[in-house]
Structure 1
Amino acid sequence: MRLAFFGSPDFAVPALRALAEAGHDIVAVYCQPPKPAERGLKETKCAVQRAAEALALPVRTPVRLRNDTDEHRFFASLGLDAAVVAAYGLILPKPMLEAPRRGCLNIHASLLPRWRGAAPIQAAILAGDAETGITIMRMDEGLDTGPMLLKEAVPIGPRDTAASLHDRLAEVGARLILRALAEDPPAVPQPAEGVTYAPKLSRADGAIDWTRPAWEIDRKVRAFDPWPGTTARVGTETVKVLAAEPVEERCEAAPGTLLDDAGRVACGDGTVLRLLRLQRPGRAAQEAAACLRGLRLAPGTRFS
């Protein structure tokens, strides 16, 4: 089948490779342009561009698509059977959505209509959902509103992080898109009820609010691993909380109070969270107890 592929991060790479290995004719791979790396290093290609180049596939990296009529004409000239989209990062305008014979098929990391939007994996963990999954949908001009072709549920374990769930969902997405192209299942409209949205995240979202219960903070730590990460501030220093777990006990201390040298911290509703791994700025990750010793934090210290 003659295809174009749209994707940028690691999540999209298994699908791109699966399509190539299945023998599909991928005539264009669209991804985000290379971006400057942190600390002034040279520009870095996204995961999909690196994978596409390794497969000797032609890559296009437009900065924008909405009003780029030259790109619209080029895309239409490809004579595509379908386009596959997985976490691309730009909105596809109507002329491009309508160009492929079978439309543009999106690999979305949730069980639509739950968690439309930019961060469905993180949102599912934050909400305490028992499961999430992959939906293959035919794209329209709305935000993840198109009709559904295939769905597969994936359980969310009690210690799953966004990283662990991401990897399982990426593999399911690669398998389902091959089925969708091979079977051409009928499109089913999304139900009007049960719609939820997963907004785009920023680093500022990672600050821990210790007035929330421990189980909620635990979900946040797991949902924001590896990005945008969760942080706790003590004195003038901000530390990353890489791992934590709720403790089955109650306390009366003010939220944010360090209870002992082992990293137990009082949270909202009298709950307790145990810090497991922390990272100070510019340093390697450490077991929480060792990091707290390095910070010279005594029980009774307050995190903010």
Structure 2
Amino acid sequence: MRVVFMGTPAFSVPALQAIAATHEVVAVYSQPPRAAGRGQKPRPSPVQEAAEVLGIPVRVPERLRAPEDQAAFADLRADVAVVVAYGLILPQPVLDAPRLGCLNIHASILPRWRGAAPIHRAVMAGDAETGVAIMQMEAGLDTGPVLAEARTPIGPTDTTGDLHDRLARMGAALIVGTLARLPLPAVPQPDAGVTYAAKIDKAEARIDWTRPAPEVDRLIRGLSPFPGAWCEIAGERVKLLRSRLVPGKGAPGEVLGGFVVACGGANGTGGDSRPGAVEVLEAQRQGKRPMPAAEVLRGLTLPTRLD
């Protein structure tokens, strides 16, 4: 089929590569290059870089509201458009242009976690599983009917980064199978169970050790690798990137040995009968690479209590 691919971040790249191996990708749409790095030079998105390696023409409009941009899209005469974390709202003329419409690969089991940060929110909420859904796009935010889905458990030490890579591979395999079977019946999403995955606010990232240990653990894993949950240690902001729940009892923030930190009880006060602890497995000091906790502790002495 003639496919238009629309995506921007690294999450989208496996799907682009898989589709390009089996279909004619007539154009790739991606967000324009953004300033990045110390020199703040414009840097193409991961999708643009991958498309250029594949020899596929790339378009990087700032938006798709202009009639000339919509006409240029329609002129591609695509059978279908595949959208994966593109980052722009598609106007109705764009949604209607491909013969089979626009399909979206969404990183959750819809209708749970519609919106911007479904992987982060699934980990932070303590969900037992997540997955990917292939959705027929419509004007609403992730409201379209679902053509296919695949599920995966969220392990007790899985981070958002771990799931990101796993779901990207799952989405690539699922979209190739879906395209091979089009047209498919689309199942409307149920009204029950709708949740929204709000964009991550950096203000959420500071660790509050008075919270229950499971909540602290999920925050650390859910915000890893970006933006990274953090705490201050001897005046330095340290990101905690990987953790696990362990037995332990102490005042919230008390260091129990190694990089094991006591947390509060279920009521968030530390006075509950069910306190626990979190063992930090990986961390990142300012200006340094992520390191295993044992390596971090060779150059950083923890106080008896973390704020």
Distance 1:302 1:176, change over 3 A: closer
Alpha-carbon displacement from aligned partner over 1:72-103 (angstroms, at most 9, x marks no partner): 11111111111000011111111101111110
**Which residue is equivalent to 1:46?**
45
Q: Displacement, 1:295?
A: 4.0
User: Could you tell me how far apart the structure 2 residues matched to 1:147 and 1:19 are?
Assistant: 22
Q: CA deviation at 1:290?
A: 5.2
Give the secondary structure class of the aligned counterpart of 1:187: coil
The amino acid that maps onto 1:279 is Q
Alignment of 1:147-296 (within 5 A): 147-184=145-182, 185-251=184-250, 253=251, 255-260=252-257, 262-269=258-265, 270-288=275-293, 291-292=296-297, 294-296=299-301
Mark the runs of 5 or more structure 2 residues left unpaired by the alignment. Answer: 266-274
SS of 1:276's partner is strand
Residue 12 of structure 1 deviates from its aligned partner by 0.9
Query: Amino acid of the residue matched to residue 144 of structure 2?
Result: G
- Per the alignment, residue 272 of structure 2 pairs with none
Q: Deviations over 1:106-125 (max 9, x none)?
A: 01111100110111111111
CA gap 1:298/1:225 in 2 versus in 1, 3 angstroms: closer
Residues 205 and 228, structure 1, Cα contact 8 Å, conserved in 2 = no
Counterpart mapping for 1:8-157 below 5 A:
8-22=8-22, 24-65=23-64, 67-157=65-155
Select which of 284, 289, 306 maps to 1:302.
Answer: 306
Q: Deviations over 1:187-217 (max 9, x none)?
A: 1111000101111113332211212111111
Q: Deviations over 1:247-303 (max 9, x none)?
A: 11323x1x223233x12212111221122332221124344355456444332x332
Structure 1 segments, 4+ long, off by >4 Å, are: none
Work out the CA distance in 2 between the residues paired with 1:140 and 1:233. 45
Q: Deviations over 1:7-34 (max 9, x none)?
A: 0111111111111111x12111001111
Stretch deviating more after TM superposition (104-113 or 194-203) = 194-203
CA deviation after TM superposition for structure 1 residue 59, in Å: 0.2
Q: CA deviation at 1:141?
A: 0.5
SS of 2:190 mapped into structure 1: coil
Contact 2:15 2:175 in 1 (8 A): yes
SS class of match (2:38): helix
SS, match of residue 112 in structure 2: coil
* The 10-residue stretch of structure 1 (125-134 or 230-239) with the greater mean CA deviation from structure 2: 230-239
Moved more, 197-206 or 77-86: 197-206
Does the CA contact (< 8 Å) of 2:157 and 2:242 recur in 1? no
Give the TM-score, by structure 2 length.
0.92
Q: Deviations over 1:118-157 (max 9, x none)?
A: 1111111111111111110100000000011111111211
Given that 1:203 and 1:228 are in contact with CA atoms closer than 8 Å, whether structure 2 keeps it comes out as: yes
Query: Which stretch of the first structure deviates more once superposed, 215-224 or 84-93?
Result: 215-224
* SS of equivalent to 1:40: coil
Q: Helix, strand or coil: the match of 1:195?
A: coil
- The number of residue pairs the alignment matches comes to 297
Alignment identity in percent? 54
